[in-house]
Structure 1
Amino acid sequence: MAVFAATTGGALGAPAAAEGEAPPEQGWVGFPTHCLPPQEAGLPPADGTTTARIAVDDPAPKVGDTVTVTYQVARTPAANPVGGELPADALTPSGRILLGGAQSGGVTVVGAKRNNPVRAGAELPAVTMTGTFTVTAPGEITLAPGDYTLHTSHLLDLDTTCTVTGAPVSARLTASPPPATAGGTPGRASLRSVTLAAAYGRPGARVEVTGAGFAPGAAVTVAGRAGAAQTADRVAVTADERGAVRAELPVTDRTTTAVIAYEGPAWSAEQGSGPAAYTVIEDAPPPAPGTRQVTAVVEPGALSMTQEGAAITLGAVPYGRGGAAAGRIGTVTVKDARGGAAGWTLTGRVTDFTGPGGIRIPGASLSWTPTCTAAAGSASRCAPGAAGVVGPQGAVLASAPGSAQAGGTFTIDATVTLTLPPYTPPGAYTAVLTLAFS
């Protein structure tokens, strides 16, 4: 996952409220806060009201979806802890959002180091923090503001910690179960996966299989596979309330090279897991007198992905003109060490871009042109996805087809362009790009 940042002339700032007034947008709440300045500042604790709100990029996600949340603080009782003026871009916020209802826990959110100068003794300015969480249960999920920390880096690194008591709910979303039909959801990568307790065994061995990401209560088939064909090895199980499955699969078919799991009558990319490589080791006849049998086993590995950098910064666009903010996603390296014949597809999807005051730029305004190169010696070839819109529905970044012997190392990148309309309000606009295998 990576975070996009695009800028139009000016700096990002959360909406400020005049003395005694609430911010103009809906969803803002006020709650008592106890802010403890750093010991080095020599200031007393500050008690007062924090005015904030929480926004989500998807108010109706499905179980398994990733939701981006934004925690905006328009007013805080915390004061500038520096003896003099705090310069611009010296304040970094971080905090927590509290989940309730169908899902409990917290979401860590962080903000960019971006602020206007703050005079000595004045309140610290408005901040915006973002983070993500994965929906794990259907039903209504509530989101409430939690504690936050305002870190200043000028002369000294100082933390002002603000403890929240009794913050009301600021946002709600309603999560639905993942689709359980054989057709799946077009344009969405399957979240189903399986792992094996052992990567090889003799004919008839029982391999322990653990799966995740299935529809709660769904009937799941765990089966062996040889290339693209299913073998005779199979067992039926039922997913628990969290969508997890556990099974022991007797592997008797000597042609089995992988294990899969799926919902519905047959495996599909939308309703099935990717293959987990498995090798059947044949029993050999006893060696003749005076000889010794030498056996070497190549253990299958995993399909993995790493990405260069944690954030993607696009170019700036002048206010009034609009136009294209260009950049690149950064090098993505895919390593396929599974063995066997399975291919892979790497897809990406992007949330809407959120700017000052909650202004949104649709994720469909982002397009890309992917590239993909297979390293020398790779068994598979690599194909880049088609140039076009990414958006929240997603698009293919790159893929490698299945073949008699697949695998290798692949270098992937893409140039990206965010099209901004004229007179887009100045500020920084951020979104989250999620990459996943299917």
Structure 2
Amino acid sequence: MASLRSAPRRHRWAAALGVTALVVTGSGFLTAPALAAASQVVDFATHCVPPPIAGIPPIDGTTTAEITVDEPAPKVGDTVTVTYTVTKPAAGNPVDIALPADIMTPTGKVALGGAQTGGVTVTGPKKNPPVPGKGTFPAFSMTGTFTVDAPGSITLSPGDYNIHTSYIMELDTPCTVKNPPAPVSQTIVATPQPSANERTIQLGTASGNPGDPVTVTGAKFTAGADVVVVGRAGAAETADRTTVKATATGGFSASLTVNDKATTGIVAYEGTAWNDDKGAGPAAYTVNDDTPLPANSQKLSSSVAAGTLSMTQAGDTVSLTSVDFGKGGTSTGDLNAVTIKDFRGGPAGWSLTGKMTDLTGPGGKIDAGRLSWTPSCTTEAGSPSTCAAGSAGAVGSAGATLASTPNGALTGGEFTAGAKVSLDVPAFTAPGTYSGVLTLTLT
């Protein structure tokens, strides 16, 4: 089992899970999201060169085409399937001989623009109706995929294409866009992968008398952001608060004077109100009760020692199902169960997140963004907190939440987290074993 390490003065642990995918032959801040536009049929000038055997000059004509996608609003790391449909080719059968059915194989390119540039290679099946001699080529479709690597609007425009015929002899009719890029036919809007909140705070002392200052330090906040540091009485904020600006490295140090005897914790967050994605804490804090005792009375006290936040995992290796070379597909498995014990007895919840590396093997790598999971979490009876499973979706190098519990007046308990995992393996990934590391972090 991988070792568990505790960072100084923090409840933070990390464990490495070796994820193995087998590939064998035969037998992974916008206030409102923008909306993707519907695809458009576009026309563009095309220069087509018939095969030399036809003895005819190049053809300058107009191609009519449309680009469609299977996912108009992907996340960074998602794979998008693109279909390039030429409804009216600019070229036709260059010879007098009629061409029979199913001898045409189209290939082409789709040009990307906007937030992501480059091209997508697309191919079509060897399928067509009969084409008479010197007749117009029929409509055809080509498909391909690309991985989204940047957030924002990404445009897709038809690019060059080639029509290959296999009858009597092998002939090509390449057609190029005369004034590239061609008009935009499709626009998709990509959003960033949700990332784990790694903000943390620490207190200089865990208790004090009313009116005493406590030093609060923070890390991994947004550089230069205004950070509110405030006391908590259960889930409600107290009047004890101050504001400090984060440094260029995302850290801060603040002195907070705590007067409210009901205070049970201290939090820090960016913005004007608490946000789970931009806050840290609560860190437990106790205000000493200094109320004078009545005459002839005795004050009896007992204490409950606070424990730690910890996790263990049932194993450190996961073997996913194999897929076939040439077909690819989904390789699936189950994460080893992770047991979380929260015996701190304070107001803070916890979050268990994961980040994936690329999977490497004999054919290079399988991108980390191709690994997805469907998390689950169960709570042991009697626990003050109830855990919630993270959202199903891609894990990737940006990370995602496996499970969590909310902040509350009193939190704690025992929990078991897990996930169904699936790796999207490209069809022609070279045979062999591909391995990567999924790192789990408990905060």
Bin the TM-score by the shorter chain. Answer: 0.5 to 0.7
**Which of 351, 361, 378 is residue 355 of structure 1 equivalent to?**
361
1:399 aligns with 2:404: yes
Which of the two has higher C-alpha Rg? 2
1:247 aligns with 2:254: yes
Shift of 1:311: 4.1
RMSD: 3.0
> Could you say which residue in structure 2 is the equivalent of 1:385?
390
Return the letter of the residue paired with 2:232.
R
Return the letter of the residue paired with 2:384.
A
Change (3 A) 1:300 1:259: farther
Unaligned runs of 5+ in 2: 1-14, 26-190
> Could you tell me whether the CA contact under 8 Å between 2:196 and 2:400 is conserved in 1?
no
1:8 aligns with 2:23: yes
> Could you tell me whether the CA contact under 8 Å between 2:235 and 2:409 is conserved in 1?
no
Q: Matched residue of 1:188: which SS? A: coil
> Could you say which residue in structure 2 is the equivalent of 1:190?
197
State the Cα deviation string for residues 325-345 of structure 1 (Å, max 9, x = none). 332221222233343444444
TM-score of the aligned structures, taking structure 1 as reference length: 0.53
> Could you say which residue in structure 2 is the equivalent of 1:215?
222
Distance 1:250 1:262 in 2: 17
Distance 2:250 2:401 in 1: 26
> Could you say which residue in structure 1 is the equivalent of 2:282?
275
> Could you tell me whether the CA contact under 8 Å between 2:196 and 2:398 is conserved in 1?
no
State the Cα deviation string for residues 124-151 of structure 1 (Å, max 9, x = none). xxxxxxxxxxxxxxxxxxxxxxxxxxxx
Return the letter of the residue paired with 1:261.
A
Question: Number of paired residues?
Answer: 263
Shift of 1:393: 4.8
Q: Matched residue of 1:195: which SS? A: strand
> Could you say which residue in structure 1 is the equivalent of 2:302?
296
> Could you tell me whether the CA contact under 8 Å between 2:369 and 2:397 is conserved in 1?
yes
1:413 aligns with 2:418: yes
> Could you tell me whether the CA contact under 8 Å between 1:185 and 1:270 is conserved in 2?
no
Change (3 A) 1:270 1:383: closer
> Could you say which residue in structure 2 is the equivalent of 1:55?
none
Change (3 A) 1:410 1:431: same
Shift of 1:378: 0.6
> Could you tell me whether the CA contact under 8 Å between 1:189 and 1:436 is conserved in 2?
no
> Could you tell me whether the CA contact under 8 Å between 1:191 and 1:213 is conserved in 2?
yes
> Could you tell me whether the CA contact under 8 Å between 2:229 and 2:268 is conserved in 1?
yes
Q: Matched residue of 1:237: which SS? A: strand
Distance 2:253 2:417 in 1: 34
Shift of 1:225: 1.5
Return the letter of the residue paired with 2:246.
A
Return the letter of the residue paired with 1:365.
R
1:14-413 correspondence runs (5 A): 187-286=194-293, 288-289=295-296, 292-356=298-362, 359-413=364-418
Change (3 A) 1:272 1:437: farther
> Could you tell me whether the CA contact under 8 Å between 1:301 and 1:339 is conserved in 2?
yes
Change (3 A) 1:193 1:202: same
State the Cα deviation string for residues 236-285 of structure 1 (Å, max 9, x = none). 33333432222232211122111112233333223221311112221243
Distance 2:422 2:234 in 1: 38
> Could you say which residue in structure 1 is the equivalent of 2:31?
none
The alignment-based identity, stated in percent, is 50
> Could you tell me whether the CA contact under 8 Å between 1:308 and 1:332 is conserved in 2?
yes
Higher mean alpha-carbon deviation, 404-413 vs 293-302, is at: 293-302
Higher mean alpha-carbon deviation, 332-341 vs 225-234, is at: 332-341
Distance 1:186 1:265 in 2: 24
**Which of 429, 432, 436 is residue 424 of structure 1 equivalent to?**
429
Shift of 1:307: 3.4
Distance 1:218 1:407 in 2: 31
Return the letter of the residue paired with 1:193.
T
Shift of 1:394: 4.1
Change (3 A) 1:248 1:298: farther
Shift of 1:206: 2.1
Shift of 1:371: 2.3
TM-score of the aligned structures, taking structure 2 as reference length: 0.52
> Could you tell me whether the CA contact under 8 Å between 1:287 and 1:293 is conserved in 2?
no
Q: Matched residue of 1:369: which SS? A: strand
